[in-house]
Amino acid sequence: NIEHEIVNYCEKDRYASYAYSKLFRLSEAKNLWDVNWVDGTHFKDIDLVTYGFPCTDISLAGSCKGIIKGETKSGLLFESLRIIEEARPKVAIAENVRNLVSKMFISDFHNLINELDRLGFNSYWKILSGINYNSAHSRERVFIVSIRKDIDNGSFKFKEGNDNLVTLESITESFVDEKYYCKDNSYLKNFLNKVNKRICKDKEPSKFGLVRVGTIKNPHMLQMNRRVFSELGASPTLVTGSDSIPKVIQCKVRKLTPLECWRLVGFTSEDYWIVRKALEEQFYNGKDCTDTQMYKMAGNSIVIQVAESIIESLKGILY
């Protein structure tokens, strides 16, 4: 409930761009599309820049090629830094995968912090997970809050999370279309006869809040996509592909629906339907064909409750 104005946004994906404009009631003319061509000198009076850069080359699920300017997708970070240098916002907030601070990429991370320091920003960072901020989504991400040195009063601290586990039960739909259920009869015979809800209730959540109850025996699926989780725990991290959606067990095994994935990252059902209907009308002639795009957007999202906690911690600095 903070009064604000979205000056511009930058999104190359046409579906995500249209969804963003409809969700926040913006003209798509505010989309600058390609970050490589954004002139940050046009934004001298802005307060906040939020930025990310593709995790493709630093994620464990990606290529791990690293952050190389002009060579890797993750190298787009340098365009964000250029814009920050040109625009000089009060605050800049970045988010990326936990692997950014792993041994493999810690030197890249330190280079990023040092560059922000050179640009005149004090940076504060922490690994935050949705499950500690009243979300059923166990999604660990590195957040970097950079405050311009001339306005940094030293008061910023990341808001402490809590240990109150929110389970998948809180976001699952009561009635789910059969298309989301596992139809592999051999799997159902071998797995479901051995695992039931009574057994699931006896399992304790892991330190990440997850209750894993089995694995799908399918050599054509990635290991991370074969895991089955109970609705009595949290959800593992969402990724962009619909084949990668976490599986849950409710007497029968199914993947999460697009609506459930949107709820997992903190959007309301109303938000979901605003976007879904808009995409159907704009791209699919009113037909119900939006699952792939809705899954992708949820997988690319941050957990809203975590973002809100960061903004709350900036009171007295940003607003």
DSSP codes joined into one string, the chain: --------B----HHHHHHHHHHTT--GGGB---GGG--GGG-TT--EEEEE---TTTSTTS------TTTSGGGGHHHHHHHHHHH--SEEEEEEEGGGGSTTTHHHHHHHHHHHHHTTEEEEEEEEEGGGTT-SB--EEEEEEEEETTT--S---PPP----PPPGGGT--SS--GGGB---HHHIIIIITT--HHHHHTSPP-TTS--EEEE---TTS-GGGSEEEETTS-BPPP-SSGGGSPEEEESEEEEPPHHHHHHHTT--HHHHHHHHHHHHHHHSTT-S--HHHHHHHHHHPPPHHHHHHHHHHTTTTT-
Catalytic choice (55, 182, 200, 261): 55
**Distance from C-alpha of 304 to C-alpha of 190, rounded to nearest angstrom:** 38
Q: Is 55 a catalytic residue?
A: yes
Catalytic residue annotation:
55
